[in-house]
Structure 1
Amino acid sequence: MEFDAVLIPPRRAASIAQGLWHDRTINDELDACVAECPDKIALVARQVEDGATTRFTYREMATMTDRIAVGLTRLGVGRNDVVSLQLPNWWQFTLTYLACSRIGAVLNPLMHIFRERELSFMLKHGGSKVLVVPGRFRGFDFEQMADGLKASLPELQHVVVVGGETNGQPNANSFEALLSGPHWELESDAQAILMGNRPGPDDVTQLLYTSGTTGEPKGVMHSANTLMSNILPYASAMRLGRDDVVLMASPMAHQTGFMYGLMMPIVLRASAVLQDIWQPNAAIELIHSERVSFTMASTVFLTDLANAVTEAGHAVPTLRTFLCAGAPIPGPLVEHARKAIGAKIVSAWGMTELGAVTLTQLDDDDDRAFTTDGCPLPGVEVRVVGDNDAPLPAGSIGRLVVRSCSNFGGYLNRAHLNATDAEGWLDTGDLAHIDERGYIRIDGRSKDVIIRGGENIPVVEIEALLYRHPAIAAAAIVAYPDERLGERACAVIVTKPGEAIDLPAIVDFLKSHKVAVQYIPERVIVRDSLPTTPSGKVQKFKLRENLRDVDD
């Protein structure tokens, strides 16, 4: 794959001179861990459904990483080849990324909720050579889906299945048979492979798709320098170090899980604990058994954990900090969570393209976590600008633009959508204001993406599908508030003359198009017409206001 990460070279010299880029890759960090603390627990991975727990010391993790790396080369994977990974938070996720980094391959994390529609676009657009999936997870047959996709993806050479076995024996296409079983690291050419193909700090190391308003996902390209330049100040702001234990139950196929659950513990020489299915009681048990001190997830996780601790009466005294991002935190939740779990609640805002941008500080009053989205990390500048791109005074709502050392390298084969000017300012597509102390508050989104439990819903794509329904004349999807998930999606529909539609019919229709369940609207309202501008654009703010009036 040819990567057009055009936003990286122009800012290299200044980023190095300012000490923002450190020219270290995850390979350097893992090697340092083996040298400094080889027998320390690096990774604990818990599969909630069967309770299976896998542990790696740093020495063991490096050995398995090298094994998988050489195994990938046996499948034809080389420098700049894309390996797509549709796994939950299993140890194979972490080690496959580390293995790709050993040989200069690029990891493409994919959410396990994706189905044929989303995957067919992403795998083709990214030119994936290998796809790694679970055999089954949460009752769904991923192997069957992946095999069905393979015929239409000529560049996809291998589907590798984690847990693929027959009568207790690994199948020929299994992760175990191809990558983690054979002692590839002992082969005569292993060292040449492992040392001769390592990527540089400005090479693309991650390709992560984000849903936007253009109707198609965009492939975000990151390098070691762009990722590391965010992780280091983030960890410093949260006062994290090698003695910390990080719990990650948020999917590692999101930037949250990838940067702060996979990469950050290695950078810190700390320990990571992975949870594959979110169950708050299972999280409480892990916090106790592994002495977890830090976690990061969306608001729904915080709600569930606080409620579970209250109901069960089991305190979590080792948990110092819960960093919450993905949706605003209600004030009552902060008060409840502080009382229930005792941890400091930190609010944050960020993007796949940037990682975390703003955080509230550990010494801030608790109300800052629910009245603001924090202040910029070191190496990050934020502005709120008006229509003429001039900065607005404090308190004024305008477009939020960001210039950051962690700014991505661009969208794969979509450079015209990079939304970054010659001075490095990225237009986030969000509306915000900045207070007198430099703290921002997100006031809305100029892009029509709904955030449901931390998961972006690609509104334009779902609307386009609804327009194909034979009973629908017009459709618009808008958010409505939800106490647990932050937002849910409502479809406002205008039917064709003589036709009728209801929620079950829409759910069945979208499922027939292989849409991820989390993307399907959970409420339907039928109207005679949609409010529009004179030019015919739907005025979604009026639809949201109408929904609030109905709910009141």
Structure 2
Amino acid sequence: MEFDAVLLPPRRAAMVAQGWWPERTINDALDACVAVCPDQLALTAVQVETGEVTRFTYRELARMADRIAVGLSRLGVGKNDIVACQLPNWWQFTLTYLACSRIGAVINPLMHIFRERELSFMLQHSEAKVMIAPHTFRGFDFEQMITALQPNLPHLRQLVVVGGNGANSFDALLSGPAWEQAPDAAAILALHRPGPDDITQLIYTSGTTGEPKGVMHSANTTMANILPYAQRMQLDSESVVLMASPMAHQTGFMYGLMMPILLKARAVLQDIWEPKKAIELIRTEGVTFTMASTPFLTDLARTVTETGQSVPTLRTFLCAGAPIPGPLVEQARAALGAKIVSAWGMTENGAVTTTCLDDDDERAFNTDGCPLPGVEIKVVDGDGHPLPAGQPGKLLLRACSNFGGYLHRPHLNGTDAEDWFDTGDLARIDERGYLRITGRSKDVIIRGGENIPVVEIESLLYRHPAVALAAIVAYPDERLGERACAVVVPKPGQSLDLPGMVEFLKAQKVALQYIPERLVVRDDLPSTPSGKIQKFRLRELMRHSAL
């Protein structure tokens, strides 16, 4: 794969000179762990459905990373080749990334909710050479789905299955044979060891242009975010990080997979969110920190209250993805005894703002925090002029962790000559420098921390034989923050109901989480004189239940 990470070279000298780019890779961090604390427990991975628990010390983690790296090379994977990984929070996910980094390959994390439609585009666009996926997970047959897609993916040479027993299983191809003891193993591991500016991660974000965009990150851009984040949260080698947010999201990847290794700390992975199991893990593993979206906090606080099972070791719960309601902060503080931290970020940058541990609780529900070190933010008007404190406008940011660009889509990078990145969000900044997201200039709905690709789903609705006009808008939800509502105008003599719409979108192989959960049928949609649908009016009607 040829990467066009055009946003990295122009700012390299300044980032290194200012000390924001650490000039290290995950290989350096893992090697340091082996040198300093080889027998310390590094990773505990828990599969909720089976009860299986797998543990690795840092010595074992490095040995298995080498083994899988040589195994990947046997499959033809080399420098800058893409290894797609559609796994839940299993130990194989962590080890796949570490193995890719050993040989200069690039991991492409894919959410396990993705189905044929999303995967067809992403695997083709990334030119993934190897795909690693579950045999089955939560009752769905991933092996069957991807096998059916493979004939139309000319770059995809090999499907590797976790949990299967065949010749293409993860154990048979990668983790079983002692590849690291092969005569050529040392040469393979030394040949293409990546540098800090090489692309290490390609991760897709739901596009507002009708297709996902491949975000390119290097070791320097990811670590430039993780290190100040950890410092602000006062995390260190004694920390135990619970990660139940998917590692195929930047939240899980950066702060559940990478961060514990950078800190020489411990990670605890939970593959399916189940609050009672989370409480058990916090208590038995001594978890001190976790990060997740608002529904996770709601569920955890409620379950602690209902069961009476306290979580005394948990010191901090960082909540991102949607504003935290004030009553929830109070309830969670009382139930968990932990500091509730509010944060906001993007796939392109990682966490951008967080509240601080010594802030009053009100800042966690009234703001989205202040910028991390190495990050600048500003709010501007339509002409790009900075606005005074408290006045809403377009949010721009300039960060040491800004991505390298969108793969093969440089015209969408949204970064000007002075490195200001247009977030697509609307916000205000108060007199203390704290941010509050107030809306979006981009057409995205965030459901429980998951971006719904509105334009793509609308395009599919227009293919329905009964639909003349369609628009998808958000409506508020207490637990998930937002849900999606489809508002349609049927063609003359036609009709459409919610079950029919859902079945139609399922037939288009859309991820279930992307399908609108509400349908409103109208005679017309509010529009401009030129015919553009006025979604702001639909949202306003939705808020007042007047649809």
The normalised TM-score by structure 2 is 1.00
* Residues in 2 aligned to 1:538 and 1:299: alpha-carbon distance in whole angstroms: 31
Give the secondary-structure state (helix, strand or coil) at the position aligned to 1:550.
Answer: coil
- 1:357 aligns to 2:352 (yes or no): yes
- 1:482 aligns to 2:477 (yes or no): yes
- AA partner of residue 92 (structure 2): Q
- AA partner of residue 122 (structure 1): M
Report deviation, 1:534: 1.6
- The aligned residue for residue 106 of structure 1 is 106
- 1:64 aligns to 2:60 (yes or no): no
Pairs within 5 Å for 1:157-306: 157-165=157-165, 171-306=166-301
* Residues in 2 aligned to 1:433 and 1:547: alpha-carbon distance in whole angstroms: 24
- 1:22 aligns to 2:22 (yes or no): yes
- The aligned residue for residue 498 of structure 2 is 503
Give the secondary-structure state (helix, strand or coil) at the position aligned to 2:161.
Answer: strand
* Residues in 2 aligned to 1:389 and 1:453: alpha-carbon distance in whole angstroms: 31
Report deviation, 1:551: 6.8
- AA partner of residue 295 (structure 1): T
Give the secondary-structure state (helix, strand or coil) at the position aligned to 1:309.
Answer: helix
Q: Is the 8 A contact 1:206 1:222 kept in 2?
A: yes
Deviation per residue, 1:215-265 (Å, 9 max, x gap): 000000000000000000000000000000000000000000000000000
* Residues in 2 aligned to 1:332 and 1:429: alpha-carbon distance in whole angstroms: 29
- The aligned residue for residue 383 of structure 1 is 378
- 1:144 aligns to 2:123 (yes or no): no
Pairs within 5 Å for 1:378-417: 378-417=373-412
Give the secondary-structure state (helix, strand or coil) at the position aligned to 1:19.
Answer: coil
Give the secondary-structure state (helix, strand or coil) at the position aligned to 2:436.
Answer: strand
Q: CA 1:551 to 1:290, structure 2 compared with 1: closer, same or farther past 3 Å?
A: farther
* Residues in 2 aligned to 1:349 and 1:39: alpha-carbon distance in whole angstroms: 36
* Residues in 2 aligned to 1:462 and 1:332: alpha-carbon distance in whole angstroms: 34
Pairs within 5 Å for 1:380-529: 380-529=375-524
Give the secondary-structure state (helix, strand or coil) at the position aligned to 2:98.
Answer: helix
Count of residue pairs the alignment pairs up: 547
* Residues in 2 aligned to 1:53 and 1:551: alpha-carbon distance in whole angstroms: 50
Give the secondary-structure state (helix, strand or coil) at the position aligned to 2:152.
Answer: coil
* Residues in 2 aligned to 1:308 and 1:208: alpha-carbon distance in whole angstroms: 33
Give the secondary-structure state (helix, strand or coil) at the position aligned to 1:514.
Answer: coil
Deviation per residue, 1:404-449 (Å, 9 max, x gap): 0000000000000000000000000000000000001000011111
- The aligned residue for residue 321 of structure 2 is 326
Report deviation, 1:538: 1.0
- The aligned residue for residue 168 of structure 1 is none
* Residues in 2 aligned to 1:442 and 1:361: alpha-carbon distance in whole angstroms: 17
Report deviation, 1:119: 0.1
* Residues in 1 aligned to 2:210 and 2:194: alpha-carbon distance in whole angstroms: 33
Deviation per residue, 1:362-396 (Å, 9 max, x gap): 00000100000000000000000011111100011
- The aligned residue for residue 135 of structure 2 is 135
Deviation per residue, 1:35-68 (Å, 9 max, x gap): 0000000000000001100000000000000000
- AA partner of residue 30 (structure 1): L
Deviation per residue, 1:472-526 (Å, 9 max, x gap): 0000000000001000000001000011111000000000000000000000111
- The aligned residue for residue 337 of structure 1 is 332
* Residues in 2 aligned to 1:7 and 1:547: alpha-carbon distance in whole angstroms: 40
* Residues in 1 aligned to 2:348 and 2:483: alpha-carbon distance in whole angstroms: 24
- 1:530 aligns to 2:525 (yes or no): yes
Deviation per residue, 1:108-137 (Å, 9 max, x gap): 000000000000000000000000000000
- AA partner of residue 86 (structure 2): Q
* Residues in 2 aligned to 1:476 and 1:329: alpha-carbon distance in whole angstroms: 27
- The aligned residue for residue 348 of structure 1 is 343
Structure 1: gaps of 5 or more residues: 166-170
- The aligned residue for residue 307 of structure 2 is 312
- The aligned residue for residue 93 of structure 1 is 93
Report deviation, 1:550: 1.6
The normalised TM-score by structure 1 is 0.99
Deviation per residue, 1:186-231 (Å, 9 max, x gap): 0001011112211110000000000021000000000000000000
Give the secondary-structure state (helix, strand or coil) at the position aligned to 1:151.
Answer: helix
* Residues in 2 aligned to 1:515 and 1:66: alpha-carbon distance in whole angstroms: 37
Give the secondary-structure state (helix, strand or coil) at the position aligned to 2:424.
Answer: strand
540, 544, 547: which one aligns with 2:539: 544
- The aligned residue for residue 153 of structure 2 is 153
* Residues in 2 aligned to 1:286 and 1:458: alpha-carbon distance in whole angstroms: 34
* Residues in 2 aligned to 1:469 and 1:260: alpha-carbon distance in whole angstroms: 41
Structure 2: gaps of 5 or more residues: none
- AA partner of residue 426 (structure 2): L
* Residues in 2 aligned to 1:81 and 1:536: alpha-carbon distance in whole angstroms: 45
Deviation per residue, 1:309-364 (Å, 9 max, x gap): 00000000100000000011011111110001111000000000000000000000
Q: Identity of paired residues, percent?
A: 75
* Residues in 2 aligned to 1:345 and 1:281: alpha-carbon distance in whole angstroms: 19
- 1:52 aligns to 2:52 (yes or no): yes
Q: Is the 8 A contact 1:212 1:447 kept in 2?
A: no
- The aligned residue for residue 115 of structure 1 is 115
Give the secondary-structure state (helix, strand or coil) at the position aligned to 2:544.
Answer: helix
Q: Is the 8 A contact 1:48 1:277 kept in 2?
A: yes
- AA partner of residue 24 (structure 1): R
Report deviation, 1:533: 1.2
* Residues in 1 aligned to 2:543 and 2:125: alpha-carbon distance in whole angstroms: 39
Report deviation, 1:104: 0.2
* Residues in 2 aligned to 1:54 and 1:229: alpha-carbon distance in whole angstroms: 30
Q: Is the 8 A contact 1:321 1:343 kept in 2?
A: yes
- AA partner of residue 418 (structure 1): N
Q: Is the 8 A contact 1:347 1:360 kept in 2?
A: yes
- AA partner of residue 106 (structure 1): V
Q: Is the 8 A contact 1:213 1:447 kept in 2?
A: yes
- AA partner of residue 153 (structure 1): L
Give the secondary-structure state (helix, strand or coil) at the position aligned to 2:300.
Answer: helix
Q: Is the 8 A contact 1:384 1:434 kept in 2?
A: yes
* Residues in 1 aligned to 2:53 and 2:283: alpha-carbon distance in whole angstroms: 15
* Residues in 2 aligned to 1:352 and 1:57: alpha-carbon distance in whole angstroms: 30
* Residues in 2 aligned to 1:106 and 1:549: alpha-carbon distance in whole angstroms: 47
Q: Is the 8 A contact 1:136 1:143 kept in 2?
A: yes
